[in-house]
Structure 1
Amino acid sequence: MANRSRCIATLAIFLICYATSSTSVAGQSRIAGGKKAAANSAPFIVSLQKSEKGKNIHYCGGTILNANWVVTAAHCLSSKTLAYSTVLVAGSILVDGSTSTVQKRNIDYYVVHELFVGGIAPYDIGLVYTKLAFKWTSAVGPAVLPKADSTPSGTASLYGWGSTSTTAADKFPSSLQVVSSIPIITLSECENELGSHGSNLHDTNVCTGDSNSGISICKSDSGGPLIQGKTLVGIISWGKTPCGQKNSPSVYVRVSAFNSWIIKHQIAPKKMLMHF
């Protein structure tokens, strides 16, 4: 087997990112059960892309917080070499960025939560900084942090460029996918449906799921947003595979548990860049 990243978890459970090249349970993919998103409908989302065989390949998602900062999953940043060669692609629903509204940026600094231990674990949150600020347009703009320590409920919208396949064979759309009304479920419901993997849940997680829907996150959706209006309530973390199966909830970082951590780590660039 080739070298595919540190995102591999356990059989039938996957982290939703695609980091280096090869084949594994943690392969590249998109939202299962979604539909094509409208242009400019998610100005806050970015595609984290790496160079492979002369092409930029999407491997994780992220969400713009302000002109210089993007939040993503910690496991998307497991490799320093990969992180500092990543291109942030904003302003286009097309994964290849082939629109006049696209803005591309480099990662100049990143930080992951100090309590994240890798695998399907809590604290799966990281921040990336770009010195060249994003410019606000109808296609590029920030999301809003939720109220600190709040618990989201109701429904939310889920965006990503991951696999649309509900089988072991990945299928990759060229355009951003969306599920506009996915139910948020309680952690106890989520734990019950995950079975033996429910023990990996933490009170800083949030889950979505519909036992009959066949809708879920999928590999390479990692780091992307679960959002209510413009409020970022979740960061895509992990779930079962094959994607989109019944009674298979999707697991996210609950952003409201990390408001103070996010604010603390958005420090002055000159001081921050001393940590290179």
Structure 2
Amino acid sequence: MTLSKLILLWICTVSMAKCSVARFIHAKANVAAPSHKFLFAASITSASEHICSGIILNKRWVISSALCVSQNTVSTLHVRYGSHNRTYNEIVNEDIEKIIVHPHFKQKMLANNLALIKVSNDIRFIPTVVQAATLPTKKPAENDMVDAVGWEKIDETNQSDTPEILKYHQTKVTGLDTCSINLSHLYDVDIDTQFLCTNTTIEDTFPELDNGSALISAEKNELIGIASWYDEEFPNVYVRIRTYLPWIRSVVIE
């Protein structure tokens, strides 16, 4: 797999404010998320269309991938939250006040692929409906069970088809050796500190969980990763959140 081919998997169609992302490869099929779990889930939208996932951090800040929002402005995007079904009338649609892309984001390598999004009004927390994600307290270990959580695109051939129901699946963290070997083509990138990989199986393919979707520790229910990119020849790759805690905290606690 050449670098150019890898990058082509993530070409952003700026005119439609959407990113072309092919399927993630997973060990288990995506299923509808239980209504009482993953209450941090948000949807980043443009012109009322979902473009990627977001994760609520506190009453004013949401985190997502830089690739999703770096080509957009605050006037073109909204954050939707409040239901695992994006079509429900009760869902809240917030304007965006500010977008802060990680200062060392490199699109070609997808290094430091994180962005923080500040909404214009306080997010309304409701115990069984909306809650902030919990940031990680320890480094994930090989074979730790994790939940991948995001909005699933149902029909890749139908551009008007949008994800409606929040989905998740369980998988395991891949060991550092496997992750590093498969990502060795990424030059000038500290794989150990920046990335976290999860298991894949070539035989089992399922519809994608979108860019910016969350990787959650099954044991502690902590946000440990943000979906960055995949290729079917490599493990699924997430941004390792624990590495970026100083930057995240410096921004969201203004």
Is contact 2:195–2:238 with CA below 8 Å preserved after alignment? yes
Name the counterpart of 1:263.
249
Please state if 1:11 is matched with 2:2: no
Contact 1:30–1:164 (CA under 8 A) maintained in structure 2: no
1:160 counterpart residue number: 150
In structure 2, what residue type is equivalent to 1:79? Q
Structure 1 contact 40–92 (Cα < 8 Å) conserved: no
How far 1:250 moved relative to its partner?
Answer: 0.8
Q: Distance in 1 between matches of 2:36 and 2:163?
A: 17
Structure 2: 5+ residue stretches without partners: none
Q: How does 1:137-216 map to 2 (within 5 A)?
A: 137=126, 138-147=128-137, 150-153=139-142, 154-163=144-153, 169=157, 173-179=163-169, 181-193=170-182, 196=185, 202-203=191-192, 204-211=194-201, 214=204
Q: SS of the counterpart of 1:251?
A: strand
2:132 is paired with a residue whose SS is coil
Identify which range, 169-178 or 42-51, moves more after superposition.
169-178
The answer to whether the 8 A contact 1:30-1:163 is kept is no
Map Cα deviations across residues 114-141 of structure 1 (whole Å, 9 max, x no partner).
Answer: 1112134221111111131111111110
Aligned counterparts of 1:261 and 1:267: Cα–Cα separation in 2? 10
State the 1:225 CA deviation: 0.8
Determine helix, strand or coil for the equivalent of 1:188: helix
RMSD (Å), alpha carbons: 3.1
Superposed displacement of residue 41, structure 1: 2.0
Q: In the aligned structure 1, how far is the partner of 2:215 from the partner of 2:84?
A: 16
Contact 1:183 1:209 in 2 (8 A): yes
SS state of the match for residue 236, structure 1? strand
Structure 1 gaps, min length 5:
1-8, 269-276
Q: 1:21 aligns with which of 5, 16, 21?
A: 16
In structure 2, what is the equivalent of residue 122 of structure 1? 111
| Counterpart residue type for residue 130 of structure 2 | V
Distance 2:11 2:38 in 1: 20
Summarize the alignment of residues 40-79 of structure 1 with structure 2, pairs less than 5 Å apart.
Answer: 40-51=36-47, 56-79=48-71
Shift of 1:192: 3.5
Within the candidate set 74, 92, 112, 1:103 is matched to: 92
Give the 3 Å change call, closer, same or farther, for CA 95–31 of structure 1 in structure 2.
farther
| Deviation of the 1:163 alpha carbon | 3.1
**Does 2:79 correspond to 1:88?**
yes
For the residue of structure 2 that corresponds to 1:11, the secondary structure is helix
Q: What is the CA distance between 1:255 and its match in structure 2?
A: 0.3
Deviation at 1:71, TM superposition (A): 0.9
Amino acid at match of 1:104: N
Q: TM-score, normalised by structure 2?
A: 0.81
1:59 corresponds to which letter in structure 2? I
Between 138-147 and 11-20, report the one with greater CA deviation: 11-20
2:125 pairs with one of 119, 127, 136:
136
Q: Which amino acid aligns with 1:145?
A: L
Q: 2:226 aligns with which of 221, 226, 235?
A: 235
